[in-house]
Structure 1
Amino acid sequence: AVGALIGILSWVTFSLMGKALGTSTTFVHVAAFLEGLISPEHVYQNEYYAKSLQTKPLLDWQFALVLLMPFGAWLGARLGGEKRVEHVPSLWKARFGSSRGKRYLGAFIGGALVLFGARLAGGCTSGHAISGGLQFAVSSWVFMVALFGVGIPAAMAIYGRSHKSVQ
């Protein structure tokens, strides 16, 4: 059901806004804005940031989407019957221990690597996998194959190859 709803959301986004669903550009805009507060001349000399600031305003629908994602995650968990916040998943705990700091650091590093790779590919995971995939864009399908082709072996290397279910 969630996949169908994401497909409908993508269709609505294309129809009403003429834009593909995505999020990583917001991080570029925020970074350019924050750096511009400290060193405006550097931002406008940096072609990547200058282009970012010239093409879109900082506050737009994509910014709102990123800002409201945590609320959507919370709402989804509540509607799904989840009653507690799981800071350290059992699979992580079994492999690395129960340290929240270590878990948060691992999640941050993993997210930063995926965001870097997605921006390097000219988009983001949601932009490529959802919007580009729905349009049958070759670059998006290459990205998805690479994501799973690297992600599955990386997860097996990090978590081990155990076939046991961890509760």
Structure 2
Amino acid sequence: MEHDGGAWSPYLVGALIGVLSMATFYFSNQPIGASTSFARIAGLIGNLFSKGHTESLKFFQETKPQIEWGVMLMVGIILGAFLAAYTGGEITAQWIPPLWEEHFGSSRALRLGVAFIGGTVMAFGARLAGGCTSGHGISGALQLSVGSWIALMCFFAGGVVTAKLMFSI
């Protein structure tokens, strides 16, 4: 699946994601999504430290913290991303991308801090929106959900605004 020694073709990957989404619906009657799986993992970690408190939360009463197919999908996404980067020759030992360094300097702490804050805001937004980019952008859009199409447009608009604000592109 290597594309001329470089990155994988986005057209091929997009088509494969579409086939995966259709197969997921066909075989399990479940949409592809990631945010609930992250929440389940957080619940499993919460159970390790404060089982009673975690079990008392309404979210975890409705969404049991357990390892199920969505959590395994997340493992597959991480392994697949590594495989794609490896076979595409895109693994680097670079902590700070050149564009980031040009605008914000070479501080690893700043880069990791901003990434952590961004991830936290995205997780909050995914829970608020009732799904993440994969849930709304792939599965919801595939089902022609109006709410998912609106969410998808907001994801793109938010990305454009963030890039403009951060990098003056």
TM-score range, shorter chain: 0.7 to 0.9
Which secondary structure does the structure 1 equivalent of 2:63 belong to?
helix
For 1:92 and 1:59, the matched residues in 2 are separated by 36
Q: The residue matched to 1:146 in structure 2 has which SS?
A: helix
- 4+ long deviations beyond 4 Å: none
2:159 corresponds in structure 1 to 151
- 5+ unaligned residues in a row in structure 1: which ranges? 162-167
Q: Superposition pairs for residues 105-116 of structure 1, below 5 Å?
A: 105-116=113-124
5+ residue gaps, structure 2, are 1-11
Secondary structure of the residue that 1:39 maps to in structure 2? helix
Q: Distance in 2 between matches of 1:38 and 1:27?
A: 17
Letter in 1 for 2:82: W
The amino acid across from 2:52 in the alignment is E
Matches of 1:86 and 1:130, distance apart in 2:
30
Report how far residue 69 of structure 1 moved: 2.4
Q: TM-score, normalized by length of structure 2?
A: 0.85
Q: Which residue matches 1:32? A: 43
Shift of 1:18: 0.9
In structure 1, the partner of 2:140 is 132
Provide the rounded CA distance (Å) in 2 between the counterparts of 1:99 and 1:70: 26
Displacement after TM superposition at 1:86 (Å):
3.3
For the residues of structure 1 that align with 2:94 and 2:28, how far apart are their CA atoms? 36
- Alpha-carbon contact 1:29-1:52 (below 8 Å) kept: yes
The alpha-carbon deviation at position 134 of structure 1 amounts to 0.9
Distance 2:152 2:23 in 1: 23
Residue of structure 2 aligned with 1:99, choices 107, 117, 133 = 107
TM-score normalised over the length of structure 1: 0.86
Amino acid at match of 1:112: T
- 1:164 aligns with none
Q: Are the aligned partners of 1:32 and 1:52 in contact in 2 as well (CA < 8 Å)?
A: no
CA displacement 1:68-106 (0-9 Å, x = unmatched): 322211211122232524322111111111222222222
Q: Is 1:21 aligned to residue 32 of structure 2?
A: yes
- Aligned with 2:19: secondary structure? helix
Say which of 127, 135, 159 aligns to 1:119: 127
Q: State the partner residue of 2:150.
A: 142
| Residue in structure 2 matched with residue 77 of structure 1 by the alignment | 85
Percent of residue pairs bearing the same amino acid type: 42
For 1:82 and 1:154, locate their aligned partners in 2 and report how far apart those are by CA, in whole Å: 25
The two structures, once aligned, show a CA RMSD in angstroms of 1.6
Post-superposition shift, 1:123?
1.2
Q: Cα deviation per residue 1:106-151 (whole Å; 9 max; x = unaligned)?
A: 2221122112111111111110111111111111111111112222
